[in-house]
């Protein structure tokens, strides 16, 4: 049987529109920073890709091309003009890693899956040093759609609290960009192209205004080192402009999730339909992955950055999911080339597992 790929939260196959755009970009082979005619042609193509990405995402601010979502997060944390930083407990490892690396504060989530707004207000407010209130800004990072469970945050509500306390809001949209509208209330947004059918090795940090960041020198308005990947930027723009669900209407996605309501661990009430955390009643996640792989289905046990470990998922732990349930939970994620027939086939395969 032909294999069925249901691990789009890890990466999606390259869209044909993106491949074609990249091939055109490779023909414009010069360095976009070179002053000669060839370089200016490459620069024009890069800037065209930038404006097309912004238009497709509905973003009125600035866009810095990066090597992916992880670098976008690094630029935000390293260059944001702030004095304090905090991230939610269910962030992707690329962001949550800052908790230990640079003593970043952690914001818990409640039983509804949403970040604790009282904690958000406390972390976003002015810092107190030696008993005196210091006027400065904090950077608060919150993921739009969780990469392991599909849980969605109420970004408008979070932004109201963060901005009311004088902070800046960084939103990781790696799992939502190209699939749903990105939250315009954010001050900065993280995007990774390979999550929506663009090429691996390109992403972006969206910024409302450059005065939120301090440049460190180099390309991309002085915010990153290394020659810009112009062909990949063109591929990213083409992927964003393409129909995000050409083979699957939204109602079918919704019905797919509804089939598994009793098999979803308690990870909040608001979910994106293209990422599902499924709990099997008896089989371990590792056994499920092996069985499903042998049956022709590619799924995962969580984030691709942490699925190689047998440790309990940090994200499920933050949601309060017990160890036994977490050990029997896998992730199924849909993408641009998923078909209704593939979803039906997985539903039958899941029912057959014992």
The per-residue DSSP string of 170-182 comes to EEE-TTTTTTSPP
User: What was the pLDDT predicted at 126?
Assistant: 64
User: What was the pLDDT predicted at 98?
Assistant: 87
Q: Residue 326, SS3? A: helix
Q: Which residues contact residue 176 at a Cβ distance below 8 angstroms, ignoring those fewer than 6 apart? A: 144, 145, 152, 182, 272
Strand-by-strand arrangement of the 203-207 sheet: 62-66, 203-207, 188-192, 168-172, 138-143, 84-88, 105-107
pLDDT, one tens digit for every residue, the chain (354 residues) = 699 999 999 999 999 999 999 999 999 989 998 999 999 999 999 999 999 999 999 999 999 999 999 999 999 999 998 989 999 999 999 999 888 888 899 999 988 889 999 999 999 876 544 444 445 789 999 999 999 999 999 999 999 999 999 999 999 999 999 999 999 999 999 999 999 999 999 999 999 999 999 998 888 888 998 889 999 999 999 999 999 899 998 889 989 988 998 899 988 878 899 999 999 999 999 999 999 999 999 999 865 444 455 567 889 999 889 999 999 999 999 999 999 999 999 999 999 997
In terms of Cβ atoms closer than 10 Å to its own Cβ (0-12, 13-18, 19+), residue 305 is middle
Q: How many CB atoms sit inside 10 A of residue 289's CB?
A: 18
Half-sphere exposure of 25 (CA within 13 A, CB side): 27
- The C-alpha atoms of residue 305 and residue 213 are separated, in whole angstroms, by 28
In contact, 21 and 234? CB cutoff 8 Å: yes
Half-sphere exposure of 242 (CA within 13 A, CB side): 25
In contact, 92 and 151? CB cutoff 8 Å: no
Half-sphere exposure of 199 (CA within 13 A, CB side): 23
- The C-alpha atoms of residue 245 and residue 175 are separated, in whole angstroms, by 14
Q: Which residues contact residue 181 at a Cβ distance below 8 angstroms, ignoring those fewer than 6 apart? A: 58
What tokens does 228 get? 């810009």
What tokens does 163 get? 């901005």
User: What was the pLDDT predicted at 240?
Assistant: 98
The H helix count followed by the E strand count for the chain is: 13, 13
| Alpha-carbon distances, residue 200 vs 44, 125, 203, 296 (angstroms) | 22, 37, 8, 24
In contact, 72 and 190? CB cutoff 8 Å: yes
Q: How many CB atoms sit inside 10 A of residue 7's CB?
A: 18
């Amino acid at each position: 049987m032909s294999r069925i790929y249901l691990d789009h939260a890890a990466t999606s196959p390259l869209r044909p529109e993106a491949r074609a755009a990249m091939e055109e970009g490779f023909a414009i082979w010069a360095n976009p920073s070179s002053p000669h005619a060839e370089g200016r042609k490459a620069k024009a193509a890069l800037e065209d890709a930038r404006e097309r990405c912004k238009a497709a995402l509905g973003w009125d601010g600035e866009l810095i091309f990066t090597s992916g979502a992880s670098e976008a997060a690094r630029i935000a944390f390293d260059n944001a003009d702030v004095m304090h930083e905090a991230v939610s407990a269910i962030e992707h490892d690329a962001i949550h890693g800052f908790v230990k690396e640079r003593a970043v504060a952690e914001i818990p989530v409640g039983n509804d899956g949403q970040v604790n707004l009282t904690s958000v207000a406390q972390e976003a407010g002015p810092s107190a040093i030696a008993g005196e209130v210091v006027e400065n800004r904090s950077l608060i990072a919150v993921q739009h759609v969780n990469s392991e469970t599909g849980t969605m945050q109420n970004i408008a509500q979070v932004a109201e609290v963060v901005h009311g306390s004088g902070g800046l809001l960084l939103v990781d949209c790696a799992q939502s960009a190209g699939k749903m509208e990105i939250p315009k209330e954010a001050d900065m947004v993280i995007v990774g192209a390979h999550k929506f059918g663009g090429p691996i090795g390109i992403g972006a940090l969206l910024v409302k205004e450059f005065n939120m960041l301090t440049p460190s020198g180099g390309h991309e308005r002085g915010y990153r080192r290394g020659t810009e990947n112009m062909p990949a930027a063109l591929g990213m723009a083409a992927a964003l402009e393409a129909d995000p669900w050409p083979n699957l209407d939204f109602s079918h996605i919704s019905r797919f999730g509804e089939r598994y309501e009793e098999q979803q661990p308690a990870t909040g009430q608001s979910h994106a339909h293209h990422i599902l955390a499924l709990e099997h009643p008896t089989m371990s996640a590792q056994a499920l992955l092996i069985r499903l792989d042998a049956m022709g289905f590619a799924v995962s046990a969580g984030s691709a950055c942490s699925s190689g470990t047998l440790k309990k998922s940090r994200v499920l732990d933050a949601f309060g999911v017990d160890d036994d349930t977490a050990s029997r939970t896998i992730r199924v994620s849909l993408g641009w080339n998923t078909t209704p027939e593939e979803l039906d086939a997985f539903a039958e395969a899941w029912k057959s597992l014992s």
